[in-house]
Amino acid sequence: MEFLYLFIGAVIGTMAGFFFSNKMSASEQDYKRLEQEASENKTSLENYQQEVATHLASSAQLLSQMNETCATAMAQMEKSTLLLHKATNETKAMPFFSEEVEAQMRTSPSKLKADQPRKKENITEAPRDYSADPSGLFNDEKQVVTNSPS
């Protein structure tokens, strides 16, 4: 009978050990899987941080170039503005007409009026480039075709 108790105890112990080892094995497998995922996530986070750092460095470089370009453009605008002011001042110093012409224009403003009324003449004859004998081409009459094959 003792043998039977030992046998049943051994079977129950074996079964308990089997289930316990499977349970521990599953937990250990889960632990290893989670550890691997954590390692992968850490690696991907480091890669992402490196990409962000590279992106920010390139963005800073582009902004620096853009700032230099804007500064160059502003310098060119200032130079152009100064040249324009200089040219405007030089233009004011140099008159369009000579002094004699301006003096004459001041003394006789009535001669400068281009809007003086013109005399209307009654035209009775056609201009010289028109023919004296009209062909009747633009009349409503039917014209005879001279180049027809018939």
- The tens digit of pLDDT for each residue in 99-149 reads 788 788 778 766 655 555 666 777 777 666 666 676 666 766 666 667 766
At 98 the pLDDT is 79
At 92 the pLDDT is 63
Above pLDDT 90, what percent of the chain? 33
Helix and strand numbers (H, E) in the chain are 2, 0
Residue type (1 letter), 56 = L
Please identify which residue in the block is written with the tokens 């850490």. Answer: 42
Residue type (1 letter), 6 = L
Give the span between the Cα atoms of 26 and 24, in whole angstroms: 5
- Cβ contact 66:59 at 8 Å: no
Does residue 27 surpass a pLDDT of 70?
Answer: yes
